[in-house]
Amino acid sequence: MLSTLTYAVRVETTSTQSEILDATCSAYLDCCNMVSKTAWEHKTLSQKTLNRLAYHRLRDEYHVGAQMAQSSIIRVIGNYRTIKETHGNPWAASQPEYHSPGYDLVWNRDYSILKDGRLSVNTLDGRIKFPIDWTRMPEPYRHGKFGTARLLNRNGKWLLLIPSTIELPDPSQPQQVVGVDLGIRFLATTYDSDGHTDFYDGKEVKNKREHYKRLRATLQKRGTRSARRRLRKIGNRENRWMRDVNHQVSKALVGRQSKPTLFALENLEGIRHATEKVRRQDRYTQVSWAFHQLRQMIEYKALKAGHSTIAVDPHYTSQTCPKCGMIRKANRNKRLHEYQCSNCGYKSNDDRVAAMNIQRLGYQSLVESHSDKL
């Protein structure tokens, strides 16, 4: 089976190269806005028509190359088609506007990877070569089939978001379902078909990230050049450490399963909304957790081991009684991390209850998929 995952790799630049990339991304943003306005005014999504109306203007007014002009036209058409799929009419909503600078790069046209591992990118100043930090992308995906990437500047660091597709062994027919709840007190809590629960403690991680937060605040107040250098080193050290933790947790979690397993994982959108509700002073420790990275690692390791995964809606999983099905927010005591059903009296750890409900949703999806095949 094919597996496609997107990874952010760090692009290392000089100050001059960074300025060139900034100018390139800014020009691309202007091109997209001009094409969007043209498509809106003429109510057309025809690439041939937009080429006729916008191509030469893009080349003349923004001094971009042919490839960037075409890329901006293709991106805008794709965005309008997404609106059409959502609303049924691409002109039903307001005209799309682009505000976040970034550059969509087509593989082997706008960007390529050289034999020495460096990145070659088409810019306003021609093709420029950059060293890349590949540590965030697992080895198999570094040799996969790359798709259209996105180059962007995030907090002064240049990142390339690369979708990579590799061939993985087809998963075996699941013999059990494991529900995985991601959290703060426990990085992950699992519940399997045999009723067994595993907790992956997150206390050390929470404390260490709070330590980094305090240290970062102290250095930011100083504002000296040496403090800024140390801030960068601390950020890199924290990211490497967090990645190693996620690697160890995902490896242990997947490695415990000896028979073909369907891992039911939380939908990341639900996780983000849930964590956004925490107190402001706790937001760094909780919202900035590498949930996405941990989930990707679990998914990748599960598929590599011949298991399968499914994403389920995590809403109300911590408020639903796994025994009688009653949903009540007051049944969960967040301070004590306990759940007690006011209807049937069932009592357990709240993270375990969430994992039980996620496991149940995964099992329901498995049964439904089998029914559809009959």
Residue 292 has pLDDT above 60, yes or no: yes
**Which of these ranges, 79-93, 122-136, 148-162, has the smallest mean pLDDT?**
79-93
Fold of 176-373: Nucleotidyltransferase; domain 5 (3.30.420)
Q: Choose between 40 and 3: higher pLDDT.
A: 40
**Which of these ranges, 97-106, 168-177, 248-257, 326-335, has the smallest mean pLDDT?**
168-177
Name 264's bridge partners.
179, 310
Q: What is the pLDDT of residue 31?
A: 96
d(CA 295, CA 181): 10
Residue 322 has pLDDT above 70, yes or no: yes
Q: What is the average pLDDT value for the chain, to the nearest integer?
A: 87
Cβ atoms of 321 and 332 within 8 Å: the answer is no
**Which of these ranges, 69-73, 86-90, 154-158, 189-193, has the smallest mean pLDDT?**
86-90
Q: What is the pLDDT of residue 268?
A: 66
Q: What is the pLDDT of residue 103?
A: 92
Annotated domain spans of the chain: 2-14+103-167, 19-87, 176-373
Q: What is the pLDDT of residues 56-96, one digit of tens each?
A: 999 999 999 999 999 999 999 999 998 888 788 899 878 88
What is the arithmetic mean of pLDDT over 312-340?
A: 92
pTM: 0.60
Q: What is the pLDDT of residue 113?
A: 94
Phi, then psi, of 148 in degrees rounded to 5: -65, 120
Q: What is the pLDDT of residue 273?
A: 40
Q: What is the pLDDT of residue 372?
A: 59
Nearest CA to 179 out of 286, 288, 245, 253 is that of 253
Q: What is the pLDDT of residues 14-54, one digit of tens each?
A: 999 999 999 999 999 999 999 999 999 999 999 999 999 99
Kindly indicate the confidence band of residue 326, based on its pLDDT and cuts at 50, 70 and 90: very high
